[in-house]
Amino acid sequence: MRDLTQEIIELIRRTSSSLPPDVEKRLRESIEKEEPGSAARGALETIMKNIELSRANSTPICQDTGTPIFQVHYPVGWSTIQLKKQIRAALEEATKKSFMRPNAVDAIYDRNTGNNLGGDDFPYIHFEETEGEDLVIELMLKGGGCENVGRQYSLPDNSLGAGRDLAGVRKVVLDAVQKAQGQGCAPGILGVSIGGDRGSSYIKSKEVLFSEMGTRNKDPNLAELEERLTKESNEMGIGPMGFGGKTTVLDTKITGLSRLPASYFVSVSYMCWAYRRRKMTVKGEEVIYD
Ligand code: SF4
């Protein structure tokens, strides 16, 4: 099987040092919405300068290079054992090259492994066999600060007056944004999952963040709720980094799952402005990066 270690190192370098164009565009547009001379505008301008410098110098956009989350869509015939070895080797090498900070800390003995590799759980890799011929590897780097402000709700939630319907979902998602304030490094992007069990609900709330900015759910009710949540979050006045202003959330993405009759979970994964998400596609001999 082909060795893609070098190509995956390049995927990691790009993801860590260069934000995707759709994210950068949305951040640029946000600057114009903030008052000239305001702290909010200043914070966004600093973010933009940081983005440009990181890209020019191939240095991490943020000192926290986050949890590496890989999604691998592989055609029949590829070995997931080999792909996993290559991903782990690439991550170790990318860390040596300082594209990544050593981020894997053994939670029991409080020891940093120094090479960004933990047990089977770090990096997180999800494999999905596909019917197509291309191998696609997606990578998202999810920062710790924004991970800390993610929340899960079990509806009904009487303290928030949130029932088991989309009106209840709206209430708890807005509660999550309100409680996060600027702590998740706003402006953020909300990944929301409705249903599932506690585990699948959180996983899917992150998976939905792999889609491009502005991608709307095919269900018109969920698409409408996505738009509404972004608008109402921005009316809270929390603003970039919590400095106040009109830009608290850049986008909201919702996914609906099946649930048990007894449960109704809503999970909110908050992604910070450093929305590092990239993809490589292996088409025959060619490797294309997006
Ligand atoms: S939450 Fe995001 S922007 Fe903030 S420190 Fe962590 S990675 Fe950096």
CA dist 38 and 166 (Å) reads 35
pLDDT digit string (tens) for 38-83?
999 999 999 999 999 999 999 999 999 999 999 999 999 999 999 9
Instruction: Give domain 5-15+61-143+276-289's CATH number out of 3.30.590, 3.30.160, 3.30.230, 3.30.1330.
Output: 3.30.1330
Average pLDDT of the chain is: 97
For the chain, give the number of residues. 290
68 to each of 16, 64, 92, 141, 181, how far by Cα in Å?
A: 10, 11, 12, 5, 25
pLDDT digit string (tens) for 267-284?
999 999 999 999 999 999
pLDDT digit string (tens) for 224-271?
999 999 999 999 999 999 999 999 999 999 999 999 999 999 999 999
Please tell me if the CB atom of residue 143 comes closer than 6 angstroms to any atom of ligand 1: yes
Q: What is the pTM of this model?
A: 0.96
Nearest ligand 1 atom, CA 65: 7
For residue 31, the CA-to-ligand 1 centroid distance in Å is 19
For residue 131, the CA-to-ligand 1 centroid distance in Å is 36
CA dist 70 and 91 (Å) reads 11
For ligand 1, pick from 146, 149, 277 the residue to mutate: most ligand atoms within 8 Å of CB.
146
Q: In terms of C-beta density within 10 A (0-12 exposed, 13-18 middle, 19 or more buried), how is residue 102 classed?
A: middle
Residue 99 C-beta-side C-alpha neighbours within 13 Å: 22
Please tell me if the CB atom of residue 62 comes closer than 6 angstroms to any atom of ligand 1: yes
Domain ranges, ordered by start, for the chain: 5-15+61-143+276-289, 145-271
For residue 135, the CA-to-ligand 1 centroid distance in Å is 30
For residue 1, the CA-to-ligand 1 centroid distance in Å is 36
CA dist 80 and 87 (Å) reads 10
For residue 147, the CA-to-ligand 1 centroid distance in Å is 9
Nearest ligand 1 atom, CA 145: 1
Please tell me if the CB atom of residue 43 comes closer than 6 angstroms to any atom of ligand 1: no
Q: In terms of C-beta density within 10 A (0-12 exposed, 13-18 middle, 19 or more buried), how is residue 153 classed?
A: buried
For ligand 1, pick from 27, 272, 275 the residue to mutate: most ligand atoms within 8 Å of CB.
272
